[in-house]
Amino acid sequence: MQYAILCYHDENVTSAWTKEQDDAVMEKLKKVQEPLARAGKLGPVARLMPTTAATTLRKTQEPPLIIDGPFAETKEQLLGFYLIDVQNLEEALQIAQDLGKVNPGGVYEIRPVGYFNRGAFPEAVGA
Amino acid sequence: MTDLDWINTALTQSRPQAVAALLRYFRDLDTAEEAFQEACLRALKNWPENGPPRDPAAWLIMVGRNSALDGKRRTSRQVELPEEDKISETGDAEAEIADRIDDSHYRDDILRLLFVCAHPDLPIAQQIALALRIVSGMSVKEIARAFLASEAAIEQRITRAKRKIEEAGVPFETPGPVERSERLATVAAMLYLLFNEGYSASGGEAHIRGALCDEAIRIGRLLLRLFQTEPEIMGLTALMLLQHARTPARLDAQGQIVLLDDQDRTRWDRKMIGEGLALVDKAMRHRKPGPYQIQAAIAATHAQAKKPSDTDWGQIEALYGALERMQPSPVITLNRAVAASKVRGAEAALGIIEPLAGPLGNYFHFHGLKGGLLMQLGRHDEARESFDRAIALANTAQEAAHIRMHIDRLIRESAKAS
């Protein structure tokens, strides 16, 4: 069984970390991640940029509404996520819109990834 | 993190919201500030025992307001302070106040607070000192250190600023849409000045004061959260991030200036660059270009070049051209000339800066650039003249040393040629 571990924290706090504090946290995290990666138990790891860098696509109307800022409605739950590698926000939004056409309702939050590690999953896992 | 770390962070982060709300309530900077200090003292006592409140800013606003009101009552007639545990039983009231003070409230309060500090009647140095004291909560000692000024001088600057604001009578009603966007522009300008004071000190020994840049970026992010759809605030925040990302590479081990072309780009802060690029990208979608967005786009073009020779100078020249049309200024023309020299050569760039000799006659960078262009064209004597003029106009020791390095090269090249 694969599990997703979702990281939550107060952005006010994390964005107030100095570079040294931030680096120290990342270093410590890597020390936990490395043995997991060697054991083949660690998939992709991503750290998202601050919510100020986010854009939201609300699919409940046609055409979908594109708004600046993060998704903030608590009545909807996180059901899954995609990782895409594109040129710019325009392209990311296009993909989100295409996905939205066949998956009605709800929202997609498009948030740039600040750190990405491919991880150690063998190709077959999850297939 | 220990309790104390967490509490300190929460207090720092809540400060703009809390002081802004207290200012609206008491309409007096000193009272608002004192009320906030008092609330912080009580938080330090209360939070480790009772755990963090749901909304620290709301807690601080309520406790600060009550303590200041008590203080007033106490001075009029001797009434005992409410007991501490009475204040800690504020759970329900806290939740209520947190619901009532919604984002739009915060937004107007903070904007008003920033605008009070960016009051047009105040000289810029006073605006910045006041903002650092009131909005960021830096102590007079810290500000004095940042500006390399005496504490007495900073104290005086802040006191004068407060008095002038009191005399001017700042309106406290909720700003309308037009007023809000005007205020936002004033605040953005002040924020960028604050950033620049840190990025390229206007005097003194330290050439870079990183803490001021960090603070400006923090307030920029805060503004962006409150005004999520303003492309110019995206642009400003991006600009500051992209410029500050270069800080680790801007000075060498001896503390001398390293120009953009010679900087070790592996030392640039990739995380800041990533966030800056994402914000530029997001701003551009609005198709409402403004000066901050264009400057951010220029910084982004530099950030995207892995090595200096990869730089898209054509794009940069076009962006400076756009900026020049938007807000004509000889300094912007000078920057366009730098880009033009990379695209079309030194001769073309000299042609662009020729008309600037008048307005920029006393500008360090004008003579530095002119000297550099003349040197490229082999006109060594004229280059030497420009470099000498630049040294005479240098603002910091590093600037002067940098030009001296050029002169040394000039002498070496002349010696080789002869």
Q: Are residues A12 and B229, on separate chains, in Cβ contact within 8 Å?
A: no
d(CA B31, CA B38): 10
Q: Are residues A68 and B228, on separate chains, in Cβ contact within 8 Å?
A: yes
C-alpha distances out from residue B412 to A28, B165, B385, B390, Å: 51, 57, 16, 19
Half-sphere exposure of B149 (CA within 13 A, CB side): 18
**According to the model, what pLDDT value does residue B198 have?**
83
Q: Return the residue of A nearest to B238 by Cα.
A: A53
Greatest Cα-to-Cα distance within chain A, rounded to the nearest angstrom: 47
**Is A114 an 8 Å CB contact of chain B?**
yes
State the smallest CA–CA distance between residue B249 and chain A in angstroms.
15
**Is A53 an 8 Å CB contact of chain B?**
yes
Which of B237, B274, B282 is facing A89, going by the closest CB pair?
B282
DSSP character for B376?
A: H
A-B CB pairs within 8 A amount to 57
| Helix or strand (DSSP H, E) at A66 | strand A65-68
Buried b (16+ CB within 10 A) or exposed e, B70-95: eeeeeeeeeeeeeeeeebbebeeebe
Q: Averaged over B385-411, what is the pLDDT?
A: 90
Per-residue pLDDT reduced to its tens digit, B114-150:
888 888 888 888 888 898 899 888 889 888 877 778 8
pLDDT reading at A127 higher than 50? no
Give A116's strand partners. Answer: A46
**According to the model, what pLDDT value does residue A124 have?**
52
pLDDT reading at B286 higher than 80? yes
Which of A16, A50, A90 is facing B275, going by the closest CB pair?
A50
Residue A116: Cβ within 10 Å count: 12
With beta carbons less than 8 A apart as the criterion, state whether A91 and A19 touch. no
Going by their DSSP bridges, the two strands A45-48 and A113-117 should be labelled as antiparallel
**According to the model, what pLDDT value does residue B207 have?**
64
Q: Which chain B residues are Cβ-neighbours of A52 within 8 angstroms?
A: 221, 224-225, 228, 234, 237, 279
With beta carbons less than 8 A apart as the criterion, state whether B298 and B257 touch. no
Q: Are residues A49 and B275, on separate chains, in Cβ contact within 8 Å?
A: yes
pLDDT reading at B333 higher than 90? yes
Per-residue pLDDT reduced to its tens digit, B154-189:
999 999 999 998 888 777 777 788 888 888 888 898
